Chain A
């Protein structure tokens, strides 16, 4: 249960970090909060040659209100982002691990890690947000729909650093809810659903734990028949069996959670 040896780099500013990552390319890996990477190292599930620690880049420790949403820097920890006044992020972050883990883990790190059961990728996908990736002399914004490629696989290329993520604000008057079922409090969910309902009757959901990437389903045509909307979500889900639960049970959970989440979101939407 000890990490394998690696070469350690501690850049002092963003330029130095980008240069280091570009030079190392495939051989380098970013260390952010370490709350996913260090368990994997301790369990010897990964053995990168070089780690580039971004914890000294104070310029990435930012949470800013920007045109129509919240821009979260790569070093902003879960606990801070949960207090930033975005209702869906606040609800989602309460479900991410435990308070102590949230003091260290970063929101952007969770997006890049792209665990299929993680809550934040679903929030980014539901809201249609994006992730900003940088390498020396080049920056690109990747929309959520193109960012999550598969289990533990995101669009970040070797040598790139995710510098921030953009979470659009909820549409005016919209209500939201994030519900999930986990074996134990703070564990990754067996299945989860976050839902968004606008006063005009637009409704959509994103599911976690029931597919390789977050699955977004627009159910505006069924609203406000939430039972029918939930059936549509369940049909879109692609659950798998694993040691924690069967595919059938996960599918069942998604249906039940979706209906509850739509009702809760609709109730909190302002007419």
Chain B
């Protein structure tokens, strides 16, 4: 099958890849570009682990073909923090509130919540639960994730 030369602006850096059309964005990020922070759980849109930001909007990278988003901007978990090892407010809140255990679901939650708080800086409990309803976590029981979202909102308001 034909390969396609694509350019994705990933975390602010233009990255080139040559991919078959069937390459999922999740696999392109992980295998072609070596960014293994984006996790893959179910590959049919249900678990939310693979969520990344496409032009700022959270989407499932397992339900997007890399060729389809040629030329677009992608932000992965690797691009959420500041320079060096500094954490974004959402990442810091997840660490403070014990909102992760095994961490498998965390990259998806971080991307989803980053966009959620950008669009709604002071969400109610209900809005938080609705916002993260498409992300599954098998460890935490979600309570601390909800706390972390509110804590991140506080940190961002400071």
Which A residues are within 8 Å of any B CB, using their own CB? Answer: 1-8, 10, 31, 34-35, 38-39, 41-43, 51, 53, 55, 97-101, 103-104, 185-186
Contact = CB atoms under 8 A, between A and B. Distances in A.
Interface of B: 1-2, 4, 20-22, 24, 27, 43-45, 48, 51, 54, 57-60, 62-65, 67-68, 112, 130-131, 133-134
26 contacts: A2-B22, A2-B27, A3-B22, A3-B24, A4-B22, A5-B1, A5-B20, A5-B22, A7-B2, A8-B2, A10-B67, A34-B65, A35-B45, A38-B62, A38-B65, A41-B22, A51-B21, A98-B133, A100-B51, A100-B59, A100-B112, A103-B59, A104-B59, A104-B60, A104-B64, A185-B133
B129 to A, nearest CB: 9
A42 B43 contact: yes
Nearest to A56: B68
Q: Which among A1, A31, A99, A185 has the highest number of chain B CB atoms within 10 Å?
A: A99
A99 B44 contact: no
B63 A7 contact: no
Given A7-B1, A8-B4, A100 B60 contact: yes
Contact of B134 (A1, A6, A31, A186): A186
B34 to A, nearest CB: 19
Given A7-B2, A8-B65, A55-B68, 10 more contacts: A2-B24, A8-B67, A10-B68, A38-B24, A43-B44, A53-B67, A99-B134, A100-B134, A103-B58, A104-B59
A39 B63 contact: yes
Nearest to B27: A2
Contacts, number: 88
A38 B50 CA distance: 14
Nearest to A185: B133
B76 to A, nearest CB: 15
- The main secondary structure of chain B at its interface with chain A is mixed
Contacts of A1: 43-44
Contacts of A8: 2, 4, 21, 65, 67
Contacts of A101: 45, 60, 63, 134
B63 A31 contact: no
A34 B68 contact: yes
A5 B3 CA distance: 11
Given A6-B22, A104-B64, A39 B133 contact: no
Nearest to B48: A100
B60 to A, nearest CB: 6
Contact of A99 (B1, B4, B65, B131): B131
Contacts of B45: 35, 38-39, 97, 101
Nearest to B69: A55
The 7 closest A-B pairs by CB, nearest first: A98-B134, A8-B21, A39-B44, A1-B43, A3-B22, A38-B63, A5-B1
Contacts of B63: 34-35, 38-39, 101, 104
Nearest to A103: B57
A7 B130 CA distance: 38
Contacts of B48: 98, 100
Q: Which among A99, A100, A186 has the highest number of chain B CB atoms within 10 Å?
A: A100
Nearest to A97: B134
Nearest to B111: A100
